[in-house]
Amino acid sequence: MGNESIQNSIGGSFEGNFTGGDVHQSSIVYHKQESALPKEDKAEIESSISKLKASIEAESNLTKDQKEKVLAQVKLIEDAVNNPDGGEKKKQAQDANSALKTMFSVLPVAAKFVEEFNKVSDLIIKLFGLGAV
């Protein structure tokens, strides 16, 4: 037998990055690759997101409905940060970041709230290489 190559396509979803594997009869071995996001950057952005969420919850000028809408966008950013390697996550982060900027331009918000958002926004732009959003 010469050098043979077999390609398989597997549907479904999984967490992590498939980096390679060995197939022997009926067993498959795969290796999970860590995220490309450095731990320091991830810790910084997670901290900033936590502070932003706390600022949103504490903001007395927002109604419950407004808070829920803003927090839903923050959740999308948080999801993208936790899974930054997916191509669709870059677009998700960009869209959520833009939506939050639009929301903040029309909502009555305190300076602390905007300050926390600007930190998160800057980190998202850096993380996903978005340029100015």
Query: Domains of the chain by range and CATH?
Result: 39-128 (1.20.1440)
* Alpha-carbon gap, residue 122 to 129, rounded angstroms: 10
Q: What pLDDT score does 30 carry?
A: 42
Q: Is 129 left (phi over 0), alpha (psi -120 to 50) or beta?
A: left
Report which of 92, 84, 88 is spatially closest to residue 35, judged by C-alpha positions.
84
Statement: the pTM of the whole predicted model exceeds 0.75: no
Q: What pLDDT score does 54 carry?
A: 92
Over residues 3-13, mean pLDDT = 50
- What band does 47 get if pLDDT is binned at 50, 70 and 90? very high
How do residues 31-44 score in pLDDT, each as one tens digit?
344 455 677 778 88
